[in-house]
Structure 1
Amino acid sequence: MKISKFFYGFLITALLFASCNKDEELDSIQPESLESTQNVSSKLKPIGSGVMMQAFYWDVPAGGTWWNTIRNKVDDWSNAGIDAIWLPPVSKAQNGPFSMGYDPFDYYDFGEYNQMGSTETRFGSRSELESLISRAHRYDLNVIADIVINHNSGGDLEWNEFAGKNTYTKFTPLSGKFNRTKYDFHPNEQYNSDSGIFGGFPDLSHSKPYVQDWLWKRSNSVAKYYKNTMGFDGWRFDYVKGFEPWVPREWQRNVGGFAVGEYWDGNVNTLNWWVNQAQMSAFDFGCYYKMRDAFMGNNLNALSGDMLWKRNASRAVTFVANHDTDEIINNKLLAYAYILTHEGYPAIFYRDYEEWLSKSKMNNLIWIHNNLAGGSTTNLWTDNDEYIAKRNGGYGKNGLIVYINNSNSWKERWVETNWSSRRIKDYTGNSGWEPVTQGGRWVKIQAPPKGYTVWSLK
C-alpha cells in the first residue's frame, strides 16, 4: 500500500475534461439489468481453482472510467482461467477523483455523494461498480474487495485532549454512516495505540465497541454492506501489520468469504504465525523475495530458500508483482512459470497480463496451472542456472515437471518422473520433444535459453 499526492493546479479542468470523455464512452456501453448480488456464491468458481487477477495498478487512469475498463475484460479473463478479480479500494477517499482509495474517508460512498472534490471516485460511479460486480458474477468470477481499515483520512480538525493537540479525527461523511471522532482513534480514553500507525494518518481503534459495530457487527456494517448489498465475495486486507490478527479474523467470522492479508514481511516464520493467528491467507512475500534474488540475481539456488507455500500452501497467495512492488524486471515470465506450476494460490498483475508480457504465454501458464499442477511438490534439480521440480499429481490432475533455464543456451537433463513407459510432451510448445519415459520412470527433458518447459502425460 502507498499513498500518492494529487494536488494539481489544473484539477477543475482535468475533472471537466474527464467527465466529457466519460460521457462519450458511456454512450457506447449498452445498459444491462443488474442481477441480485445475493445468493450468487454457489454459481461462482471456487477460489483457488484458478488464478487471481489483480485488476488494477498504481495510478490507473483517472476520470471515472476504470470500472468500465475492467467490466469489459471479465469475460475474457474468466475464459482464460481466472477465478477472482481483486479490485482497488472502492469507497470515497480524501483525494477524491485522484485517489487510489488507500486514504479512506467514507466507506459507504461508492461514487454517489459530492464530497472530497468529486461525486465519482477515481474509478467511476456506484452504478458502474455494481454493473462490474454483476457482470463478473455472470461470468462466474469472484470479486475481492480491498479493505483499508488501519487508518482514515480527510477528517476535520477537533481538539483532542488525548493527543494534546488538534487532530483531523472528526468524520461526518455524507452517507450518514460510521461517523467518527477522537474517541474512535488512537490515542483515546482507553487505548493509547495498537500494532502500528501508517503515515501519520488517524489510526482506528479496533478495540472500541463502536468501531467494531460499524466495521463488522451491525447489520449494515461495512463488512455486511459490502457483502450483502454490494455483492463482494472476498477480502484483501491492507497493511495488516497495523492491527492485531484478531481484527480481520473477526471480520471474516462475521461475513465469511475468502480472505488474504498484506503482511509485508519476507520472514516466513512471521508470515506463518500471522496466517495461523488470523486464520486466513497471506501474500507470500517470502516467495517473492526469493524469486527476486533468483531471477534478478541470476542465481536460481535462491529458489531453495524458505517460502510460505512450502510451509502452508493452502494459506499462501503467490505473486510476481503488484501495485506496490515490481522488482522482478528481468526474466519475469520465468517467475510466472514458477508460481503457476507450484503450490499456493497464484495472483497475476494487471499490467503484466494486459500490457507487458505475452498474453498467449500467460494464458498457457494459467491453463497449465488449472489443468496439470496438482499434488505435492518435489525438487528434482537446482543450481545457478537450472531449476527442475515435479508436481506429483492429484485431485484429477496428472501432475507435471517444470524445467526453468536461466542460462544463455539450451539445457538437457535426466529426471525421474512418476510415469513408467509413458509418452510425455512439453505443454508450453517451447520444445518439440515427445519422449517416452523408461520403465524405471526416468526421461531426458530440455529447456530453451532464458526459458522454460512444462512436461506432462500426452
Structure 2
Amino acid sequence: MEKKQRTLLQGFEWYLPEDQYHWQKIAELAPLLKQIGFTSIWLPPAYKGLKGEKEVGYAPYDLYDLGEFQQQGTIATKYGTKDEYLACIHALKENDLEVLADIVFDHFMGADEKEEVLAERCKATDREAIISKQRMIEARTKFTFSGRKGKYDNYQWSWKNFSGVDYDDKQKEEGIFKFVGKKWNSPVDNENANFDYLMGCNLDMTYPETIQQLDNWGKWYQSITDIDGYRFDAVKHIKFDFFNQWLLHRRKEKEQELFIIGEYWNNDLQKLENYIDQSGALLPLFDIPLHYNFYEAAKKGNQYDLRKLLVNTLVDSRPEWAITFVENHDTQEGQSLESWVLPWFKPMAYAIILLLMKGTPVVFWGDLFGIPAKKVEKMGQTLIILLKIRQQIRSNYELTYFDDPTIVGWTHVDSLNERDFNYAVIMSNDQNGSKQMCIGTRAAHKNYIDILGNHHQIVRLNEVGIGNFYVKERSLAVYVEETVAKKLLAEVEQLDIK
C-alpha cells in the first residue's frame, strides 16, 4: 500500500461544550475522518487540570488522572472519562489514524496545599534581575493527589520540584517569585532575559526527582495508551535539551518512531531554527511565521504582496521541520494569541498548506466543524475538497509561479507514478486575472476545470501541458482534469460533515 501524505487534524478548539462527550464524539467520527483524508489526529490534553470539567487542558494538575478520580470537583475531564479516552484512541487506530497526545511539561497548577518557601522576587521584564530581599512566602506547591490515593504512583510533589511561582499567599501579592537556591533553567527563549517562567508552579528540569517523575509518567502513559506521538506545549519555556532523554526512552519503549511536534510560539524564524539546532533536531515546530503571514495577508488585502507569503517561514527554510497551520486554539477569538485569519483568505491559506507540498499540515477543528459558541461557521465543502485532493497525491513534483504581487499559483506536475494526481492552483487578493502554468506532457490536450466552482472557464492544455488558468477577484481556483474532478466531487457529496 502506498504511503499517503501525512495530514493532521487538531481534534479540538477552545470553546467546545463542557459536556464530557468529546472523546465519544471523536470515536464516532473516526471513519469519516479517514474518508476525508486525515492520516493523524492531535487530541487535547487528557489529564485532570485546574478547572476540572471546564479545563481545556493547559493548566495540568494530575498527569495520572485521565478522568478516573474525584479530583478538582469532577471525575471526568472536559472531554470525558479515562475509559472513553482509551476507547477513542482505539477507534482512531482501528481506522488507521495516527494519534498524538498533547503534553504540558512547563508547569503544574491547582496544588492541594501551601508550603513556606524562601524566595526572591524577579523583575517581570528581566527574570535574572532580583528586585526584592529574600523572604518566606506561602506558595501553592504541594501536590498530594489525595483523590487518587497513590494509584499508579504515590509520589507527592513539593516546592523542590519547582523553581518559582507567581503568587505569595502570605502577603497576597502577585509577581514572579524564584525560590532561593534555584536558578531559571537554561537554555530557554531569551525574551525577558530568560523565559523559563510562564505560569503556575514552574517545573525545575534540573532537579533529578522532577526529571525522573516525568520519565516514570511517560512510561506509564505510553504503556496504557499506545500513543503514536506527542505535541509538546510551550517548549520555548522548557530547557531546550530536556526532551532528548525523555523521547529516547519513549522510542525505545514503543520500539518504533514517534511523530513529534513542538510548539515554540515566536514569529522570529531564527529563534525557531536555533531551537531545532540546540534541541538536537528532535522536534519539528509549528510554523508560526507562516501563520502570521496568513494573518497579515488577510488583513491587508491587495496591499499584501503574495510573493512574500512564504518569505521568512520555516516551511521555506526547513520544510522537513515545519508543521504548517492556519489556526489553532490559541489564535481563536478571545484567546491569548488571537490572530484569526479572515474568512475570505482562509481557503487560500489552506490551499498553501495542503496543496503546496512542503511541510506537514494541520487542519483546525474549528475550521472543519465550526465554532458554535462563537457563531463561527465551518468552511464547508471547500476545505473537504482540498483535503480530498491532498489524499490523492503521491509525489512532491511541483512548479511554483510566485511572480506577481496579487496573483500567484503553482502546479503539481507529472511524476514517475502513473497514479499521481495533477492540478493547478491560482489565487488572487485583488482583481480577476489569469496565469500561464504548466502541468506536464501527461496532461496534454486535456480539459481542466476549477473543482471549487469559483471559476467556470474550462482550460484546455496544449501539446506540452501548458494552459492559461483563471481566477476571480479575491478568490481561489484549483484546476483538476474534468473527469477526475467530477469523480472527486461525487465522493465529497457522499460525506456527511455535521
**TM-score, scaled to structure 1:** 0.82
Partner residue in 2 for 1:346: 361
Of 297, 320, 324 in structure 1, the residue corresponding to residue 300 of structure 2 is 297
Partner residue in 2 for 1:169: 141
Partner residue in 1 for 2:342: 329
Give the number of equivalent residue pairs: 409
Please list the CA deviations of residues 314-348 of structure 1 after superposition, one character each: whole Å capped at 9, or x if unmatched: 21111111100042023212211221112111111
Partners in 2 of 1:382 and 1:295 — Cα distance? Answer: 19
The answer to whether the 8 A contact 1:403-1:446 is kept is yes
Segment drifting more, 242-251 vs 434-443: 434-443
- Compute the displacement of 1:394 (Å): 5.2
- Give the secondary-structure state (helix, strand or coil) at the position aligned to 1:297: helix
- Closer, same or farther in 2 for the Cα pair 1:367/1:158, shift >3 Å? same
Please list the CA deviations of residues 5-54 of structure 1 after superposition, one character each: whole Å capped at 9, or x if unmatched: xxxxxxxxxxxxxxxxxxxxxxxxxxxxxxxxxxxxxx9x97x7332111
Segment drifting more, 417-426 vs 235-244: 417-426
The answer to whether the 8 A contact 2:451-2:480 is kept is no
Partner residue in 2 for 1:249: 244
- Closer, same or farther in 2 for the Cα pair 1:203/1:231, shift >3 Å? same
- Compute the displacement of 1:233 (Å): 1.2
Partner residue in 1 for 2:323: 317
Partner residue in 1 for 2:259: 258
Partners in 2 of 1:135 and 1:51 — Cα distance? Answer: 18
Segment drifting more, 86-95 vs 187-196: 187-196
Segment drifting more, 362-371 vs 378-387: 378-387
Partners in 2 of 1:398 and 1:443 — Cα distance? Answer: 17
The answer to whether the 8 A contact 2:325-2:362 is kept is yes
Of 159, 163, 175 in structure 1, the residue corresponding to residue 116 of structure 2 is 159
Partner residue in 2 for 1:446: 470
Please list the CA deviations of residues 249-272 of structure 1 after superposition, one character each: whole Å capped at 9, or x if unmatched: 332222131111110111112212
Segment drifting more, 297-306 vs 332-341: 297-306
**TM-score, scaled to structure 2:** 0.76
Partner residue in 1 for 2:424: 401
Partner residue in 1 for 2:232: 237
Does residue 228 (structure 1) correspond to residue 250 (structure 2)? The answer is: no
Does residue 179 (structure 1) correspond to residue 156 (structure 2)? The answer is: yes
Partner residue in 2 for 1:287: 290
Please list the CA deviations of residues 396-422 of structure 1 after superposition, one character each: whole Å capped at 9, or x if unmatched: 43454311122353x222224443735
Q: Going by fraction, where is strand more abundant, 1 or 2?
A: 2
- Compute the displacement of 1:127 (Å): 1.0
Segment drifting more, 416-425 vs 291-300: 416-425
Please list the CA deviations of residues 94-129 of structure 1 after superposition, one character each: whole Å capped at 9, or x if unmatched: 111111111111000011111111111111111111
Q: Which amino acid aligns with 2:247?
A: Q
Partner residue in 1 for 2:491: none
The answer to whether the 8 A contact 2:27-2:91 is kept is yes
Does residue 193 (structure 1) correspond to residue 184 (structure 2)? The answer is: yes
- Give the secondary-structure state (helix, strand or coil) at the position aligned to 2:220: helix
Partners in 1 of 2:458 and 2:244 — Cα distance? Answer: 49
Partner residue in 1 for 2:8: 52
Partners in 2 of 1:414 and 1:394 — Cα distance? Answer: 20
Q: Which amino acid aligns with 2:239?
A: E
- Closer, same or farther in 2 for the Cα pair 1:226/1:448, shift >3 Å? farther
Identity %: 23
Please list the CA deviations of residues 116-169 of structure 1 after superposition, one character each: whole Å capped at 9, or x if unmatched: 111111111111111111111111111111100101101121011355422111
The answer to whether the 8 A contact 2:9-2:362 is kept is yes
Does residue 388 (structure 1) correspond to residue 409 (structure 2)? The answer is: yes
Partners in 2 of 1:339 and 1:385 — Cα distance? Answer: 19
Partners in 2 of 1:59 and 1:313 — Cα distance? Answer: 31
Segment drifting more, 188-197 vs 92-101: 188-197
Does residue 415 (structure 1) correspond to residue 437 (structure 2)? The answer is: yes
Partners in 1 of 2:399 and 2:313 — Cα distance? Answer: 14
User: What are structure 2's unaligned runs of at least 5 residues?
Assistant: 121-134, 164-177, 189-194, 252-257, 333-339, 371-376, 485-498
Partner residue in 1 for 2:172: none
- Closer, same or farther in 2 for the Cα pair 1:439/1:190, shift >3 Å? farther
